[in-house]
């Protein structure tokens, strides 16, 4: 079992490119991670990584060993899944990632009920509005808002998500209500944009009479946390683009109002991304089915009766 643990540590160091990052991922210390790699190198009789004070790079042998190591771990996971399917009570840990707003409102509240129903399954929930790499971060699944141009992952549609441009009445009183995307750009309205490290998008895709069109936006504030953007919008600091289910309550009570209604944002989707091989694991199928059904029901209820 120690040898398997060493292989698993090697794979995470290789994928994350950092001994300390792999140690955090495996819930241990960098010293333990380094010791496991050293044990593996001693067993193999070759060096797997070239280490300097500033970088860690796989050797040619390390790159060759990685391909085989991944297959070993996948075979172990498949064997464990096959055994689990015959067990009366599935067990293990499910690693899940989701956008902040979705995770806080539609996933986290249901995890205790899932745990009550399946006490041998543990959940690890990571919330972030940044782009998630399911494979590199060792996740079993990740919920994602947006359309995927290409993915090697299994994509399961959770819900279609109409979006809206909205702002607080105080902002409209100060700056006016732009009729469309052209007015937003021409009058240089303050737009609250979702940005994270590596993102390059400063445009909103809006539906015009001639079809979808991207509009270059500007604004004094941006954040990688969508809930922060909503808070700024409520404070009258600018226009925000949001899935309607996230701001439905504020639209109902008038704290936010629709703007640029002649060119609404194009709709997006909430999807669940899963590695194909992980779908054979019963605990992952159980959680996916459990949480997806509840998310769909709550998202539909959030916008029920809302008139725009």
Which DSSP string corresponds to 100-167?
HHHIIIIIGGGHHHHHHH-TTEEEEEEE-SS---TTTTT-SEEEEES--S--SSEEEEEEEE-EEEEE
Summarised one tens digit per residue, pLDDT across range 167-205 is 999 999 999 999 999 999 999 999 999 876 655 557 899
pTM value > 0.95: no
Calculate mean pLDDT across residues 130-139.
82
The Cα–Cα gap between 191 and 184 comes to: 8
The Cα–Cα gap between 26 and 36 comes to: 12
Q: Where is pLDDT greater, at 117 or 136?
A: 117
Can you give the pLDDT at residue 149? 61
pLDDT at position 142 over 90: yes
Can you give the pLDDT at residue 155? 87
pLDDT at position 85 over 60: no
* Boundary of a domain, candidates 86, 114, 146: 86
Summarised one tens digit per residue, pLDDT across range 223-243 is 888 899 999 999 999 999 999
In-domain check, residue 24: yes
> Which residue range forms the structural domain that includes residue 245?
163-266
The Cα–Cα gap between 37 and 43 comes to: 10
**139 and 179 share one domain:** no
Q: Looking at residue 9, which CATH number applies to its domain?
A: 1.10.10.10
**253 and 173 share one domain:** yes
The Cα–Cα gap between 131 and 137 comes to: 11
Can you give the pLDDT at residue 89? 67
In-domain check, residue 308: no
Domain count, the chain: 3
CA 251 remoteness from chain centre: 26
Helix (H, G, I), strand (E, B), or coil: what is residue 29?
Answer: coil
**177 and 258 share one domain:** yes
Q: How does residue 82 score in pLDDT terms, banded at 50, 70 and 90?
A: low
């Amino acid at each position: 079992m120690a040898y398997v643990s060493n292989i698993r540590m090697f794979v995470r160091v290789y994928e994350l490119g950092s001994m300390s990052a792999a140690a955090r991922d495996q819930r241990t210390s960098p010293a333990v991670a380094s010791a496991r790699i050293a044990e593996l190198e001693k067993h193999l009789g070759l060096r797997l990584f070239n280490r300097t004070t500033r970088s860690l790079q796989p050797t040619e042998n390390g790159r060759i060993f990685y391909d085989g190591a991944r297959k070993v771990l996948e075979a172990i996971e498949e064997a464990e899944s096959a055994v689990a399917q015959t067990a009366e009570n599935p067990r293990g840990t499910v690693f899940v990632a989701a956008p902040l707003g979705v995770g806080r409102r539609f996933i986290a509240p249901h995890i205790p009920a899932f745990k009550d129903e399946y006490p041998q399954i543990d959940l690890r929930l990571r919330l972030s509005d940044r782009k998630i790499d399911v494979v590199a971060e060792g996740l079993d699944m990740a919920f994602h808002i947006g359309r995927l141009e290409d993915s090697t992952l299994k994509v399961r549609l959770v819900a279609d998500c109409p979006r809206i441009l909205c702002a607080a009445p105080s902002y409209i009183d100060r700056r006016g209500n732009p009729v469309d995307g052209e007015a937003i750009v021409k009058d240089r309205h303050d737009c609250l944009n979702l940005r994270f490290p590596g993102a390059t998008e400063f445009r909103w895709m809006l539906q015009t009479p001639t079809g979808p069109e991207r509009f270059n936006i500007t604004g004094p504030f941006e954040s990688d946390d969508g809930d922060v953007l909503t808070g700024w919008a409520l404070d009258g600091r600018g226009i925000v683009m949001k899935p309607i289910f996230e701001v439905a309550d504020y639209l109902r009570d008038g704290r936010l109002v629709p703007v640029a209604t002649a060119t609404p944002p194009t709709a997006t989707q909430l999807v669940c991304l899963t590695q194909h091989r992980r779908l054979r694991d019963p605990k992952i199928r159980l959680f996916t089915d459990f949480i997806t059904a509840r998310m769909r029901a709550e998202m539909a209820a959030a916008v029920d009766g809302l008139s725009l």
